[in-house]
């Protein structure tokens, strides 16, 4: 699957965001080593703290379905579902990704013009702590 196709899946996931408090809708598409794509959206909560990001929703869906090896992640997000800037995973989601993905794991985003941006997990979470350190 191309990065562009994975971004399109993330945009579909973004439309499913439950974000009545921040109004910031995020979608994630996680490509498993099997070829299966797991979609996630942010799911907010009136108590705020229990809210979950799109990326973690996708990771937890995949792991709970038995998949633990991943090829790539695409993220799309913006206020009211309108993409303005590249949306990269928050710090907590970066750490969750690090549990299952190596430094060279690719993460795709796109800006308002639709230009693809590619990051590696190592770029977004340098000198990370993982099971390698235990």
Catalytic residues: 55
Determine phi and psi for 75, rounding to 5 degrees: -130, 135
Choose, by CB under 6 A, the member of 39, 87, 101, 110 that binds ligand THU.
87
Q: Name which of 53 and 110 has its Cβ closer to ligand THU.
A: 53
Q: By CB under 6 A, name the one of 3, 42, 78, 108 that touches ligand THU.
A: 42
Q: How far is the CB of 14 from ligand THU (least distance, A)?
A: 9
Does residue 24 bind ligand THU (CB under 6 A)?
A: yes
Q: Which residues of 41-62 are buried (b: 16+ CB within 10 A; e: fewer)?
A: bbbbeeeeeeebbbbbbbbeeb
- Shortest CA distance to 103 belongs to which of 87, 73, 127, 86? 127
Binding to ligand THU by residue 60, rule CB under 6 A? no
Burial of 103 (0-12, 13-18, 19+ CB in 10 A): middle
Binding residues for ligand THU, rule: CB under 6 A, are 19, 22, 24, 26, 42, 44, 51, 53-55, 75, 77, 87, 89-90, 93
């Amino acid at each position: 699957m191309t990065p562009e196709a994975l971004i399109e899946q993330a945009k579909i996931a973004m439309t499913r965001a439950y974000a009545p408090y921040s109004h910031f809708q995020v979608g994630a598409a996680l490509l498993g080593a099997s070829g299966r794509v797991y979609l996630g959206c942010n799911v907010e909560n009136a108590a705020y703290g229990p809210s979950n990001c799109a990326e973690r929703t996708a990771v937890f869906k995949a792991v709970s379905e038995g998949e633990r090896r991943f090829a790539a992640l695409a993220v799309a997000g913006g206020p009211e579902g309108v993409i303005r800037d590249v949306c990269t995973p928050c710090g907590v989601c970066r750490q969750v990704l690090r549990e299952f993905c190596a430094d060279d794991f690719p993460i795709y985003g796109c800006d308002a013009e639709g230009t693809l941006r590619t990051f590696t997990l190592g770029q977004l979470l340098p000198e990370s702590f993982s099971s390698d350190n235990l």
